[in-house]
Structure 1
Amino acid sequence: MYELKTKETDSSVIEFIENVDSVKKREDAYQLLDIFTETTGFEAKMWGPSIIGFGSYHYKYDSGHEGDAPLVGFSPRKAKISLYFAPGETKREELLKFFGKHTTGKACVYINKVTDIDTEVLKELIHQSVKFLQEMYPTQ
Structure 2
Amino acid sequence: MKKTGESVAAFIAGVTPAKRQRDAATMVSLMREITGREPEMWGTIVGFGACHYRYPTGTEGDMPVAAFAPRKQATTVYLMDTGAHGDELAKLGPHDTGVGCLYIKDLEAVDADVLRDMIAADYRRVLDGDTGSVEITLLD
TM-score past 0.5 threshold:
yes
How far residue 64 of structure 1 moved from its aligned partner, in angstroms, is: 2.3
Aligned length: 133
Using the TM superposition, give the Cα deviation of residue 88 of structure 1 relative to its aligned residue in structure 2, in angstroms: 6.9
State the alpha-carbon separation in 1 of the partners of residues 120 and 103 from structure 2.
18
Write the distance in 2 (CA, Å) between the matches of 1:120 and 1:52. Answer: 21
Aligned to 2:111: 118
Shift of 1:123: 1.0
Distance (Å, rounded) in 1 between the aligned partners of 2:50 and 2:38: 11
Calculate the TM-score normalised by the size of structure 1.
0.87
The correspondence for 2:54, drawn from 48, 52, 60, is 60
Amino acid at match of 1:38: E
Q: Secondary structure at the match of 1:34?
A: helix
* CA root-mean-square deviation: 1.7
Give every structure 1 segment of 4 or more consecutive aligned residues whose post-TM-superposition deviation is greater than 6 Å. none
The normalised TM-score by structure 2 is 0.87
Q: 1:27/1:139 Cα in 2 relative to 1: closer, same or farther (>3 Å)?
A: closer
8 Å CA contact retained: 1:72, 1:86: no
- Of 37, 51, 65, which residue of structure 1 is paired with 2:32? 37
Structure 2 gap segments, 5+ residues each: none
